[in-house]
Each structure stands twice: as structure tokens, then as C-alpha cells.
Structure 1
Amino acid sequence: MNAVQEKVDAFLRDVRNFGLTYPETHVKSPWPGHNDLAVRDKTFAYLSVEGQPFSISCKLPFTGEAVKREFPRAVPTAYGLGKSGWVSVDWLPGELPDIALIRNWIDESYRAQAPKKLARLVAPPEA
């Protein structure tokens, strides 16, 4: 594996570990090659796997339209999820987004998918 992909994989692990800090979250593997983030078995982030370019799909009910305008590679998530506010973004090989941006997306998606009682336990995201 090359140094660029190692950096992407480390970023992916950081994103996954951040998502796992939320109450009652776990990794969900609905089919081989996927390690998605879920709360009480309800997915809140679909993540790429190690060895691939970074990509993420999140439910973004508040910022989704802005994300689709700002990021040329942002699209409504397939399988009809886009109709419910899900947005997918992929980056070219070796490219990485700002970690604070991805953490905000994870936070928004967690709050959209988690039971209200759990979402209230989480402090507001940093600016």
C-alpha cells in the first residue's frame, strides 16, 4: 500500500472512531465490504472501506442542499435515500476533506437518525 492510501485509511479510521463516540453507536456490516455507523442498528453514516478513496453518505436534513451545491461530487444517495435527505460525497483517490466538516456531517446525521432521547445526550458540535 502506498503512503497516500495509508493517509486515506487513517482518516477513515479517525472518522469511524469519532462516530463511535456517540451514545449507543456501533459498526454495522449489512453486507461484505461495509463498515457503516449505526445507532440502535439504524445506520447514520455509510463509509468507504480501507483501500478505497474516501466517501461518505449521511442524512443531512439541514445542510444537505448546501452540501450538494458546494461539493461538485455530492449527489443524493442512491436507492431512494436521497429523497429522505441523504447525501453522498466521494473524493478522488488521495483527496481528503476537512475533518471538522465530516464531523459536523456525522453529528447532523446521528441526530437525525438517533432516538430523540439519545440525541439530547450529545453536546452541540463545535463551530
Structure 2
Amino acid sequence: MDERAKRRGDARRERVREFALELPGAYEDFPWGESVVKVNRKIFVFLFLGHLVAGQGDSPPTVTVKLTDPEAHAHAMSAPGAVPTGYGLGRAGWVTVPLGEPGAPDAELLCDWVEESYRTIAPRRLVARLDAG
């Protein structure tokens, strides 16, 4: 991966991280030494730097979200390099999207997906706070 693609991916990842942390009750945690954002002790977005993507070596940073809406899920899966998340999470709607690939989704679309993942995971009272805000 070239340095420009890595910087582009890192910038998208940081914007998504900032957005996720603005959601009601959201906080960052570091299981496995990687950044995740949780609500109510449950992960709603993984923000991996890329080296944990199996078999990809020096891969770009990735964002992993849970998308249960079939249209949003299909859209995310159409992103360059997107894959169902490993460890069986893909069967539950989790999608891993590389951020440094040419044609990777922009930060605004990624934030939309993060919000959908949050709405799927967060308690109703926190989703209500988001809607009221």
C-alpha cells in the first residue's frame, strides 16, 4: 500500500472515530490493542489499523460496522475490498471496509453506516437521545 493511500485511510478512520465518540453513551476501548467504540459495553464499530486483516499483510486501516438493513449492507459490501467480518460476525451483518483503497467510501457515508450500527446495538433510551438531539 502506498503512503498516500495509507494517509487517506488514516484520515477517514480518524473522522469516523470522532463521529462515533460523539454518539450518546459512546466510549473508546482497546481490546486486542486496537480501537473499538462501544455503547452499553457492546462494540458498535471496530477501527482496526489494518494489520489484523487476515492474510493481507500491510493492509489499509479498516472500519467494521453492523448493518442489518439489507440495502445498507449490500451497499457496504460493494465497496472496494469489503468483506463479511470474520469470526462468524459476517453472518450477523458485520462488514469490514478497507479505507485506503481507491474508491473507498468517503467519511460521510462511513459515518452514516456507523450511526446505523450504533442504532442496532445501543439501548432504545440512547437512540431516543440521539433522535432528540
| TM-score, normalization by structure 1 | 0.80
Unpaired segments of 5 or more residues in structure 1? none
Q: Please list every run of at least 4 consecutive aligned residues from structure 1 whose deviation after the TM superposition is greater than 6 angstroms.
A: none
CA distance in 2, matches of 1:103, 1:58: 10
Give the deviation of 1:96 after TM superposition. Answer: 4.8
User: Do the aligned partners of 2:5 and 2:100 also contact (CA within 8 Å) in 1?
Assistant: no
Aligned ranges 1:58-97 → 2 under 5 Å:
58-62=65-69, 63-68=72-77, 70-92=78-100, 96-97=104-105
Identity of aligned residues (%): 33
CA contact (8 A) 2:83 2:96 kept: yes
- Give the deviation of 1:57 after TM superposition: 0.8
Q: Which residue of 2 aligns with 1:8?
A: 9
Q: Matches of 1:65 and 1:80 in 2, distance apart?
A: 18
Map residues 22-101 of structure 1 onto 2, 5 A cutoff. Answer: 22-32=23-33, 34-49=34-49, 53-62=60-69, 63-68=72-77, 70-92=78-100, 96-101=104-109
Q: Deviations over 1:67-92 (max 9, x none)?
A: 22x22422211111111111111144
Distance 1:77 1:123, change over 3 A: same
Instruction: Specify whether residues 50 and 24 from structure 1 end up closer, same or farther in structure 2 by C-alpha distance, changes over 3 A only.
Output: same
Check if 1:114 corresponds to 2:122.
Answer: yes
Cα displacement string for residues 17-64 of structure 1 (whole angstroms, at most 9, x for unaligned residues): 1100001111111112x0111112200001123996231110000111
Deviation at 1:6, TM superposition (A): 3.9
Range that drifts further, 109-118 or 7-16: 7-16
Query: Matches of 1:123 and 1:45 in 2, distance apart?
Result: 19
Gapped regions of structure 2 (runs ≥ 5): 52-58
When residues 7 and 75 of structure 1 are mapped into structure 2, their CA distance, relative to the original with a 3 A threshold, is: closer
Per the alignment, do residues 65 and 93 of structure 1 end up closer, same or farther by CA in structure 2, a change over 3 Å counting? closer
